[in-house]
Amino acid sequence: MLERALVLTVCAGWLASAAAGEMPMTAWGKPSLEGVWTTATLTPLERPETVVDTRLTEAQRAEMEAEAEQFWEALEQPPPPGEVGGYNRVWLDPGMKALPDGRPSLIVDPPDGRIPWRPEALAASDAESARYGVGPYYSYADLDTGERCLSDGVTMAPLQPYNMNYQIFQTEDHLAIVHEMYHEYRIVPLDGRPFLPEEVGQWLGDARGHWEGDTLVIVSKGFADKSHYYWAWPWRAARPSLTVVERLRRVDGQTIDYEFTVDDPEMFTRPWTASAPMTTDQASRGVTAGPLYEFACHEGNYALPNILRGARLEAGLAATRD
């Protein structure tokens, strides 16, 4: 009880200073990155091909937010006949606010805000995207890694329509990042130890962190080869040719400037960088505030066997009609 009281006292003091806009610091003199953060935003990863402006006006952002609200409200309606529908707003918690700086994309380099795909990699990615939610479903491997409750891949890019929350714990020689989605977590050593041997592959890579002034730099490589799995976002797939560099810089009491660079010469013509600011002010992004909750995706994951069962039924009906 005494330890819990001490933790609550420390947290209360941290929250008070953060609310006042002060820069929280650790006892060892580094900026504190601890807290429950979200990257959720309506601003897309890539600049839409129809958008030519490098900055959206306040009116354009308001229009985008209104269109998003209409889209999510439509999910409250009953699904069309023959369809089971999906989650409604009780379960979904997407970012409903565009970034206030008016950027049309999270990608800041290249300047066009687009992923610099190699042609063959883009064709493969488009083919994967085209069959999402469509099938065919011959086996469990025809569902993407997220539907299988495994992972959606690398970086803290705000791509999910819910659970875009992260809790960071920090010591002098380690950083722990817990993602609410899939209950993923990363332990990042900061003590200068070498990377693991290349043959030891990990889903989220082997991460090592170091400080460059007030910026924490996390380099992840040594990814397991999971490129043969089906990924909803193929650029996020674990693969040995991938290196990810993340930079976290505490800006103020409520903001971390989060930036990541993706480098994979087998998939992209050049490295590319995205900026996805993290905030403890969830209301400013239009999402629910509060602590992280357990995400037990595999408990009662009836969707996967039912999808396969439905595909077998549809195939049988089609054979009957023929």
92-112 CB burial, b ≥16 within 10 A, e <16: ebbbbbbbeeebbbbbeeeee
pLDDT at residue 177 is higher than 70: yes
Give the residue, 24 or 16, on which the prediction is more confident.
24
**Lowest-confidence region among 47-51, 82-86, 211-215, 244-248:** 82-86
**Lowest-confidence region among 9-13, 199-203, 277-281:** 9-13
Gap between the Cα atoms of 247 and 258, Å rounded: 6
Gap between the Cα atoms of 70 and 3, Å rounded: 47
Question: How confident is the model over 34-73, as pLDDT tens digits?
Answer: 999 999 999 999 999 888 888 999 999 999 999 999 988 8
Mean of all residue pLDDT scores within the chain? 89
- Residue 279's φ and ψ, nearest 5 degrees, are -140, 150
Confidence of residue 5 (pLDDT cuts 50, 70, 90): very low
Confidence of residue 1 (pLDDT cuts 50, 70, 90): very low
Q: Tell me what the mean pLDDT of segment 190-201 comes to.
A: 94
Q: What is the pLDDT of residue 65?
A: 94
Q: Tell me what the mean pLDDT of segment 5-11 comes to.
A: 38
Q: CA–CA distance from 152 to each of 157, 216, 234 (Å)? A: 10, 24, 9
Percent of the chain at pLDDT > 90 equals 66
Confidence of residue 314 (pLDDT cuts 50, 70, 90): confident
Gap between the Cα atoms of 75 and 71, Å rounded: 7
Q: Tell me what the mean pLDDT of segment 19-27 comes to.
A: 77
Q: Tell me what the mean pLDDT of segment 206-219 comes to.
A: 98
Q: What is the largest CA-CA distance in the chain?
A: 73
3-class SS string, the chain: CHHHHHHHHHHHHHHHHHHCCCCCECCCCCECCCEEEECCCCCCCCCCCCCCCCCCCHHHHHHHHHHHHHHHHHCCCCCCCCCCCCCCCCCCCCCCCCCCCCCCCCEEECCCCCCCECHHHHHHHHHHHHCCCCCCCCCHHHCCCCCCCCCCCCCCCCCCCCCCEEEEEECCCEEEEEECHHHEEEEEECCCCCCCCCCCCECCCEEEEEEECCEEEEEEECECCCCCCCCCCHHHCCCCCCEEEEEEEEEECCEEEEEEEEECCCCECCCEEEECCEECCHHHHCCCCCCCCCCCCCCCCCHHHHHHHHHHHHHHHHHHHC
Q: How crowded is the C-beta side of 273, counted as CA atoms within 13 Å?
A: 10
Within 10 angstroms of residue 270's Cβ, the number of other Cβ atoms is: 9
Q: Which residues pair with 247 in a beta bridge?
A: 217, 259
Question: How confident is the model over 292-303, as pLDDT tens digits?
Answer: 988 888 777 778
pLDDT at residue 83 is higher than 80: no
Q: Tell me what the mean pLDDT of segment 246-266 comes to.
A: 97
Residues 224/238, Cβ–Cβ less than 8 Å: yes
Q: What is the pLDDT of residue 301?
A: 76
Q: What is the pLDDT of residue 322?
A: 65
pLDDT at residue 204 is higher than 90: yes
pLDDT at residue 232 is higher than 50: yes
Cα 125 off chain centre by: 18
pLDDT at residue 15 is higher than 70: no
Q: What is the pLDDT of residue 7?
A: 38
pTM of the predicted model, to two decimals?
Answer: 0.88
**Lowest-confidence region among 106-110, 180-184, 293-297:** 293-297
Within 10 angstroms of residue 309's Cβ, the number of other Cβ atoms is: 12
Question: How confident is the model over 132-175, as pLDDT tens digits?
Answer: 888 889 999 999 999 898 999 999 999 989 999 999 999 999 99
Sign of the C-alpha dihedral computed for residues 37, 43, 47 and 49 taken in this order: positive
pLDDT at residue 12 is higher than 90: no
Gap between the Cα atoms of 178 and 181, Å rounded: 9
Q: Tell me what the mean pLDDT of segment 75-87 comes to.
A: 81
